Each structure stands twice: as structure tokens, then as C-alpha cells.
């Protein structure tokens, strides 16, 4: 029983506080009611006064007309502002889509260059080039050519969609591919589904500075890929430089490893 007493006192306190708040609120309401009543009286008096005097009527009418025209101007202003905001919003949305696309393209280019320089193994580099051309460009039949420095000929070393031996070799400066590599200019035909399958639609020369390293020849695109996009052209340019550097570095590395092993063999022979 004694345990209930503090809780009863507590609830009483709570009730009293609530009651005081209610009383304050009621006072506020009464005051507000009084204020509004006075305002209505003022307006009624003003109207009665105006109704008795034609001059006051005119004045009131003038005031109201001015007020209406000022509200209309304000409304017009808001409408114009709304329209301009809508236009701005549309521009932002378009810009957002453009930036999003740019962002995606940059991600593709970053991934391509990251992968190309992720290894010093020539076969891995060639495999990565194949992956990029399949997955990022969407090519179905294509070959990666490497320049044989002894014969000065471009030989297909890897391919997709057909065996590398079925792709012709080119001497530097001859045929579409040979000319593209000699000039260092990317060759690209519109549309990736040619009548003549033996003729490449894209030739990407792979060069390190002015030194030809190889090429990529695309003969046909995947059936769902209808045409080349601006990103494809960016990728061709990136491949032209980065794939060439990656092949060049991998070749140098494998040569230096071979030499190092030979020298190490000699040293081992002499010291043992």
C-alpha cells in the first residue's frame, strides 16, 4: 500500500501540470479569439464607412484592383520562375545522364588499361587483349597480330571466332592491316557486319612511339552489337597505345629473363 503512494503523488503532479498547460492554452485561445473579433469589427466598420461614402468606395475598389493586379504579376513571376526551374532541372537531368555515361566510359577505359598492365607474361597480355575486345568492344571474329621483327611481317598469334591460322599474314605497308600499321592510323568501317568476312572492318595498329609492335583486326561484331560507339573509338585508341606497350614490355621482360637465365647458367657452370 505504501509503495503506491509515491506513484499516486507522481500522477497527481502530472495531472496538475497537464491541467496548468490546458489552462494556459485556453487563455491563449480566448486572447486570439478576442483579437480576431476586433479585426472583424474593424473590417465591418471600414466596409460600412466605405458603403456610405462613394469616394471611400472608389478608394477601396482602387486598392483592391491594385492588389489583384499585383497578385497577378506575382503569379506570372512565379510561373516564369517555375518554368525556368523546370528547364534548369531538365538540363541538370541531361547533364547527369551525360556524366553517368562519361563515368561508365572512364571505368571501362580504366579497367582495360589496368588489366593490360597487370602482367609481364606475353601470353597473358594477349589473352587480356582478347578479353577486352570481346567484352568491351563486342567483337565476334577478330585476331591479334604481332610483328615479327625478323621478317617484318604481321602474324596472327591469337584470335576469337576462327583459328589464328585462318587469318592472313601481312607485310608492313600492304593490305588494309599492313597500311594501317605502317601509317599508325586506326582503320574503321561503319557497321560491323560486312559482306566480305575476310576483310577487316577495324584495324588498330599497335605502336610504341613510332615502332610497330602488332595490330588488332576485327572482322565481325557480335550480332547484338549494331554499330561502333564513341567508347569503342576511345578503346581503339587506348588499345593502340597501351596494348602495344604491354606487348613490348612483356617481350622485353621475357628476353631479359631468357638472357638472365643463360648468364646464370654460365655462372653456375663456372663456379661449380
Name the one residue in this structure whose C-alpha cell is 560507339: 229
Q: Are 115 and 131 in contact (CB under 8 A)?
A: yes
Q: Are 176 and 183 in contact (CB under 8 A)?
A: no
Which residue in the set 140, 178, 217, 248 belongs to the binding site for other proteins (CB under 8 A)? 140
Which residue in the set 107, 197, 252, 263 belongs to the binding site for other proteins (CB under 8 A)? 107
Nearer CB in complex with other proteins: 141/156: 141
Which residue in the set 122, 125, 126, 136 belongs to the binding site for other proteins (CB under 8 A)? 136
Interaction between residue 225 and other proteins (CB under 8 A): yes
Interaction between residue 203 and other proteins (CB under 8 A): no
**Which of these ranges, 18-26, 34-42, 99-107, 146-154, lies near other proteins under the rule CB under 8 A?**
99-107
d(CA 140, CA 221) in angstroms, rounded, equals: 5
Which residue in the set 101, 121, 185, 257 belongs to the binding site for other proteins (CB under 8 A)? 101
Torsional sign, CA 232, 234, 235, 237: positive
Which residue in the set 108, 159, 180, 245 belongs to the binding site for other proteins (CB under 8 A)? 108
Which residue in the set 60, 134, 172, 176 belongs to the binding site for other proteins (CB under 8 A)? 134
Residue 159: name the closest of 178, 172, 145, 180 by CA.
145
d(CA 142, CA 164) in angstroms, rounded, equals: 9
Q: What is the CA radius of gyration of the chain?
A: 41
Which residue in the set 135, 152, 183, 237 belongs to the binding site for other proteins (CB under 8 A)? 135
Interaction between residue 115 and other proteins (CB under 8 A): yes
**Which of these ranges, 2-10, 40-48, 63-71, 222-230, lies near other proteins under the rule CB under 8 A?**
222-230
Torsional sign, CA 16, 20, 21, 26: positive
Torsional sign, CA 138, 141, 147, 152: negative
- Report the interface residues with other proteins, using CB under 8 A: 100-101, 104, 107-108, 110-112, 114-115, 118, 128, 131-132, 134-138, 140, 222-225
Amino acid at each position: 500500500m505504501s509503495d503506491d503512494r509515491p506513484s499516486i503523488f507522481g500522477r497527481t503532479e502530472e495531472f496538475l501540470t497537464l491541467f496548468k498547460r490546458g489552462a494556459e492554452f485556453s487563455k491563449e485561445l480566448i486572447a486570439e479569439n478576442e483579437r480576431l473579433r476586433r479585426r472583424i469589427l474593424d473590417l465591418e466598420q471600414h466596409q460600412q464607412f466605405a458603403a456610405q461614402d462613394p469616394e471611400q468606395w472608389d478608394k477601396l475598389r482602387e486598392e483592391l484592383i491594385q492588389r489583384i493586379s499585383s497578385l497577378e504579376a506575382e503569379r506570372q513571376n512565379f510561373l516564369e520562375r517555375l518554368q525556368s526551374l523546370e528547364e534548369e532541372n531538365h538540363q541538370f537531368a541531361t547533364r547527369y545522364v551525360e556524366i553517368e555515361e562519361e563515368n561508365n566510359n572512364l571505368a571501362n577505359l580504366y579497367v582495360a588499361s589496368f588489366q593490360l598492365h597487370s602482367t609481364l607474361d606475353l601470353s597473358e597480355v594477349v589473352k587480356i587483349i582478347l578479353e577486352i575486345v570481346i567484352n568491351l568492344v563486342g567483337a565476334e571474329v577478330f585476331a591479334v597480330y604481332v610483328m615479327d621483327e625478323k621478317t617484318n611481317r604481321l602474324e596472327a598469334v591469337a584470335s576469337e571466332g576462327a583459328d589464328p591460322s585462318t587469318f592472313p599474314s601481312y607485310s608492313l605497308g600492304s593490305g588494309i592491316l599492313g597500311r594501317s600499321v605502317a601509317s599508325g592510323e586506326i582503320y574503321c568501317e561503319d557497321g560491323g557486319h560486312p559482306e566480305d568476312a575476310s576483310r577487316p572492318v577495324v584495324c588498330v595498329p599497335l605502336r610504341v612511339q613510332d615502332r610497330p609492335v602488332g595490330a588488332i583486326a576485327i572482322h565481325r561484331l557480335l550480332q547484338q552489337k549494331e554499330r561502333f560507339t564513341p567508347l569503342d573509338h576511345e578503346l581503339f585508341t587506348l588499345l593502340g597505345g597501351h596494348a602495344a606497350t604491354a606487348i613490348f614490355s612483356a617481350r622485353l621482360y621475357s628476353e631479359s629473363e631468357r638472357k638472365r637465365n643463360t648468364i646464370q647458367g654460365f655462372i653456375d657452370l663456372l663456379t661449380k
